[in-house]
Every structure is written in C-alpha cells, then in structure tokens.
Amino acid sequence: MAEEGRRKSVKRKDSGVNLDTLGLEVGNRPPQALDVEEAVLGALLIEPNSVDDAMGELTPACFYSEKHRIIFDAMSTLVKEHAALDLLSVSQKLRDNGKLDEVGGTVFLVHLSQKVGAAAHIEYYIRILKQKCIQRELITASYHILKSSYDESINVDLLIDDAQTKIFSAIQNNVKRDVQEIGSVINDALDELQKLQGKTGLSGVPSGFASLDKITQGWQPSDLIILAARPSMGKTAFVLNLARNAAVDFNVPVAIFSLEMPSIQLAKRMMVSETKLNADKFKGGEKIEKWEWKQLDIQLKRLVKAPIYIDDTPSLPIMEFRSKVKRLVNQKGVRLVVVDYLQLMQGPAELRGMREQEVAAISRMLKATAKELNVPIIALSQLSRQAENRQGGNRRPQLSDLRESGSIEQDADMVVFIHRFDYQGLSENADDIGRTQIIIAKHRNGAIADVDMKFRADEVRFVDLTDTVYAQADNVGVDSAMNSDDAASSQASVPYAPMPDAYDAYPPDEGFGGGGFV
C-alpha cells in the first residue's frame, strides 16, 4: 500500500500539476481537511483498533499534506512488517528513511497523538478523506483533459478515450464496495426467488429459440456470453436473430454494437429474416415485385417499431463502449447488449501493441460492465485456425480454440460455439445442408449441451431443427397429418414452449419468430 502511495505521489509530481497553484488560478482552494488528516494519524498512533480500518480504506494519496503522506507511508510500511504503531516505532521508521526532520520531528508526532477522541470517529474521518481525495483526483484529471483539448496534434478519438479513462480511474481508485454479511445476501436471494414464483416462462432475456431457452432460461443479467465460430459460420446472422427475437417478440430493448458491418447492412439482414424474401433482392440482384413491396410494408411494421439501437462505430474504444452502454441502459432501458465482434474493439491505450494483454483487458471490461449494469452482454469472437485443421471429432470447436487470449474463456459466464456441418464439408446428403449445432461449451450457472438447428441461408436465419421438420411437412402438402393424433403426440414431445404471453401477442401465422415458428 505504501508502494502504491509512492507511485501516486511520483505520478502527481511527474504530471506537473500543482493543486495549490491551480487553485489560486481559478480562485479556489484545493479540497482538503488537514484537521481530519491529523485526527486520523493521531488515532493510528494511540488506538490499535483503528489500524485495520484505516489501512484497508486509505492510501497516502488520501492525505493532502506532504508531511501527512510521508507519515502514513511509514505507518503502512510498519503494518506490512507486522510491527506495532506507536510514537517510538513511527519516529524510528521515519528516521531510518531520513524523513523525520522533514515532517517536523518527534514533536510533531507528539502533537498528532494528542488528538484525543479521534479514534471514536475514525470511520467518519476516513469517509471525509476519501471524498476529498476523489475531488482532488477529478480536478487533476480535468486539468489534464483541458490541457490536452487545446493540443491540436492529439487525435480526438484518443482524447475522448483518455478523458474517460482518467475520470473512471479517479473514481475507481477511491471507491470500494462494502463487505456484505452472508445473511443479508441470502435474504436478497430469497426475495428474488419469491418474485420468480409469481412469474411464468424465463428468468432472463429470451433468445426466441425454444431448445436453447430450455437450457439457459434466457440470457441472464450480468452474464458475459461469448459466441464464437470461424468466419462465415453465421455468427452475425445468429446474433441478429437473437436480437430480433428479444426486441420484436418480447419487446426487450436491445443495443447492437457493430464494429465490422455498417448499420444499413445489419438492417438489410434483419429485413431478409423478417420478410423471408430472397437475400438477392436486397442486394439488387433481383427485382422486387409489386406484391413483394406490399409484403415488405406489412411484415416490417413490427421490426420498425422494435426497441433495437445500433451503433456502428468502427474500432470502438472499450471505455467509449462502456459510456454508451451506461447511457443506453439508463435512458432507453436496454436489457441486452450485443458486440460484433470482440477482437475489433480497442483496449487501453497503454496496452496497444501487446495484443494478448489488450484482448484480455477488453474481455475483463466487458464482464465488469455486464456485472455493474446487470445486463447480459453477448460478444462475438473469432476462433483460431486450429479448429479447422483438427483431425477427427467432426472438427468440433473447443474452448482452447478461442483466439488471442485465454482470459476470454476465464471471464465468460457462457461460451457458445456455432458448428456448421456443411461448412466443414461433413454433410453426407442434401438434408444436411444448413445443419448446425449450437454448442454450449461453458456454462457457469447451468448445464453444457448441444442444440440442433438449421441455417436457412436464403433467409439469413436459424431455426430449431424440430420446427424445420414441421415446416418441411407443410411444404410437401401434409397439413392434414399435423392434425392427427400422431402429430399431436409428436408436438407434445417438444420439450419446451416459449412464454405463454408470447403466443397470445404474436400468433404463429403472423410471423412469430426467427425462433423457427414459420
């Protein structure tokens, strides 16, 4: 802790920011509470019970006076050495460091120890010092931001990223979450469990795919979900299906951060899935007929009104992403965030050029954001080539295939792979075209499993394999078979159905779902 304080002290000197001078320039005195600083140091000298509280919460940077910082630094060193704190030990440590005269000698330490009664209010004093420290850190950060903003040579994107980083660091370095007793945590868990008893359906954000939702119970709040596959496997198509199902069928606000594809291309993909018109018509390869324009007008009404928010900023810095997500959650009520894709984000500026560490920092920040805002984040990720070169096992992807950083696997609450058999050249007949497995390879709070699906390339959407069988039966004119007792028993064998209110709101004949209800 003392070492950390020294680093902060050096950083303050290196930055060239003199808070006293800066305060005079703007006509204000830098935030400080010298009497409180003396009271805390005095309490540490005379009351052993105060030591743990102070050392766990304070750093030398929390003291404005240079003398007080030096004394607290010496105290921190003694605590690390498991030595007692008193007048003799502190004065000896300062003498060994050559700092005793600089702080005012033993006389000043005696003066501090005479702050009678300070120990009784140590928690209150600590809170005051932390507040003053945050104010000073914000002033210093603001000064740097102001100074950099006048520098024409600095790229604006880097300026914004640096500004957000400095402000965020100033807050995080001084704000700690209180320890909670297990009893209060269990009571909160019981309250949440009680609320769930009155609800039917899923506990998280629905995916719209019955087989997948049965395993996950929806995308759970605060979870980081990594969706990974090799290029052209359909990662973007699948995640757009997830976003569309949540927003259109269940009216869940969704934010999509597309770093790879412009927003208009995403919109076209979603239009293809919604209308089921051939994708070539949206590329200009085929002419759209008059009746198809009418179909477009009718079927796009729900999609147009859906609470979907798209940001297509390329090379989005992670801190800018964090700020935008906070704003969307607070202002738009967003409950699901999609990132396409993780490797295209920019990590902290100081880690540029160290790719593995940069990706690790990005994944940690994604998880921290999901936890802080209590929303699930689905981040797409690339797989390494070793998945394609693997012999045997149908070239099934593994957790070790995650590209560029093992920390992605560690930070993720769930890792999902898309495994296309036709893409891998593993299809044996025409029925295997589009055959796909959604592989849940890691599930921190649930079971791992494989979910069979079908990818309809001409509609840019995935459907549950069971639903595809029914759709094929309709196409060959066996509607009457679906009404027979055998068909009814077959329908009953489907292990899961979406939330009941979804059926009431969106009957199947009105286009319920990229989840396969066609």
DSSP 317: B
Alpha-carbon span 43 to 473, nearest angstrom: 81
Nearest 5°: the CA angle 500, 505, 506 is 100
Contact call for residues 40 and 81 (beta carbons, < 8 A)? no
**4, 47, 260, 320: which is the annotated catalytic residue?**
260
Of the candidates 137, 144, 135, 116, the one whose C-alpha atom is nearest the C-alpha of residue 45 is 116
Alpha-carbon span 478 to 472, nearest angstrom: 9
Contact call for residues 219 and 204 (beta carbons, < 8 A)? yes
Q: What are phi and psi of 219, to 5 degrees?
A: -75, 120
- Sheet containing strand 435-443, edge to edge, reads 308-311, 254-258, 336-340, 377-382, 224-229, 414-420, 435-443, 449-456, 461-464
At 181 the three-state DSSP class reads coil
Residue 487, exposed/middle/buried by CB under 10 A (0-12, 13-18, 19+)?
middle
**CA quadruple 195, 196, 200, 202: dihedral sign:** positive
Of the candidates 86, 37, 378, the one whose C-alpha atom is nearest the C-alpha of residue 207 is 378
Of the candidates 114, 111, 2, the one whose C-alpha atom is nearest the C-alpha of residue 54 is 2
Q: Is 260 a catalytic residue?
A: yes
At 155 the three-state DSSP class reads coil
Alpha-carbon span 219 to 94, nearest angstrom: 56
Contact call for residues 414 and 188 (beta carbons, < 8 A)? no
Q: Tokens 């209800």, residue?
A: 517
Alpha-carbon span 81 to 84, nearest angstrom: 9
Contact call for residues 237 and 330 (beta carbons, < 8 A)? no
Alpha-carbon span 355 to 204, nearest angstrom: 33
- Contacts (Cβ under 8 Å, ≥6 apart) of 152: none
Paired residues of 60 in beta bridges:
none
Nearest 5°: the CA angle 175, 125, 88 is 110
- The interaxial angle of helices 19-26 and 122-149, nearest 10 deg, is 70
| Residues classed as catalytic | 260
